[in-house]
Amino acid sequence: MAKRIDVSGLSAYYGAHKAIDDISMTVEPRSVTAFIGPSGCGKSTFLRTLNRMHEVTPGGRVEGKVLLDDENLYGSAVDPVAVRRTVGMVFQRPNPFPTMSIFDNVAAGLRLNGKFKKNELADVVEKSLKGANLWNEVKDRLNKPGSGLSGGQQQRLCIARAIAVEPDVLLMDEPCSALDPISTLAIEDLIGELKERFTIVIVTHNMQQAARVSDRTAFFNLSAVGQPGKLIEIDETERIFSNPSVQATEDYISGRFG
């Protein structure tokens, strides 16, 4: 199910401000690709262009192409709702629906996409919660509100919610930045398991995390504040962290700036 993403010549704007400039890259299926770079370099903006979430921000606008297995996400006949269903997303802060139970949170996406018999729904919810390594912790309180869980559990609930609809790609926008180290570890382990089934793209501020979880790493940078962010290079994670081809990458990774 996992799909390849081919980006070419992609720029994104907030109103008149250009946030990212002319990015082209390929994201391999069944792998984890990490985006790193200093704050404001546009890596989160770029991530949000991959499921057409950028355009819901007021003034948000995109130029260029994103091919998902040869189909352009920005093609004129493409329905953004279908794109977001195919390309799931996990956000920086856990955002379960506050008024819904744990069960309903996971089932929310499924219910949007059609009618299910009760036991089918329960099967998918169980499978998704197991896939998110949360099942054992919540199986006795599926009808309790999701907002009662801890931060790490909430984030795994959001992951369960995202994978329940069987997306082709899973985007993660700094999924651990609001979590403690133990929860972070749990999520990182989970990412390792999920890449067997999904194409995963993760934005992170934490370079160790990028080194631990990703197969390939992309480094973004901006020449000055107010300038658009650019892709500096993308390569195997090992090479980026040991022997990058661009000096700026090495400076950033070795902590000389950013």
Partner 1 sequence: MSHVAVQDARPATPAPRKGSLSARSLPRWAGAGFAVVSIALAIGIGLAFDLQSKVQWGLIAALLFILVSYAVTTAVENKRQAKDRVATSLVWVCFILAVIPLASLLWTTISRGTKVLNGYFLSHSMAGVPGFETGGGVYHALIGTLEQVGIATLISAPLGLLAAVYLVEYGKGTLAKAVTFFVDVMTGIPSIVAGLFILTLMLMFDLGPSGFMGSLALSILMLPVVVRSTEEMLKLVPNELREASLALGVPKWRTILKVVLPTAIGGITTGVMLAIARIAGETAPIMLLVFGNQLINTNPFQGAQSSLPFYIWEQYRVGSDAAYDRAWAAALVLIAFVMILNLVARGIARWKAPKTGR
Partner 2 sequence: MASSIATDTPPPPAPASAQRRKQSTGRAGDKIFLGLSRGSGIFLLVVMAAIAVFLSVRAGIAISKDQGNFLTTFDWDPAGTPPVFGIAVLLFGTVVSSIIAMAIAVPIAVGIALFISHYAPRKLAAPLAYVVDLLAAVPSIVYGVWGALFLVPYLGGLNDWLDQYMGWTYVFEKTEVGVARSMFTVGILLAIMILPIVTSVSREVFLQVPRMNEEAALALGATRWEVIRLSVLPFGRSGVISASMLGLGRALGETMAVATVLSPSYVLSLHVLDPGGGTFAQNIAAKFDESNQLGRDALIASGLVLFVLTLLVNGAARMIIARRKEYSGANA
Residue ranges in contact with partner 2 by CB under 8 A: 51, 53, 56, 58, 81-86, 88-89, 91, 93, 95-100, 108-109, 112-113, 147, 158, 161-162, 165
> What would the DSSP string read from start to end of 51-73?
TT-GGGSTTEEEEEEEEETTEET
Tokens of 148: 């009662």
Count CA atoms within 13 Å of residue 193 on its CB side.
14
Q: Which does 166 bind (CB under 5 to 8 A by kind): partner 2, partner 1, none?
A: partner 1
Between 97 and 116, CB nearer to partner 1: 116
The b-or-e profile of 66-82 (16+ CB within 10 A means b, else e) is: bbbeeeebbeeeeeeee
Q: Is 1 in the site for partner 1 (CB under 8 A)?
A: yes
Q: In DSSP terms, which residues pair with 230 in a beta bridge?
A: 221
Structure token digits, residue 168: 């082709």
Q: Which helix (H) or strand (E) holds 36?
A: strand 32-36
Nearer to partner 1, 119 or 143 (CB): 119
Q: For residues 101-120, which are near partner 1 according to CB under 8 A?
A: 110, 112-117, 120
50 binds partner 1 (CB under 8 A): no
With CB cut-offs between 5 and 8 Å by kind, which of partner 1, partner 2, none does residue 216 bind? none
User: Footprint of partner 1 on this chain (CB under 8 A)?
Assistant: 1, 68-69, 71, 73, 75, 77-79, 81-83, 85-86, 110, 112-117, 120, 123-124, 166, 168
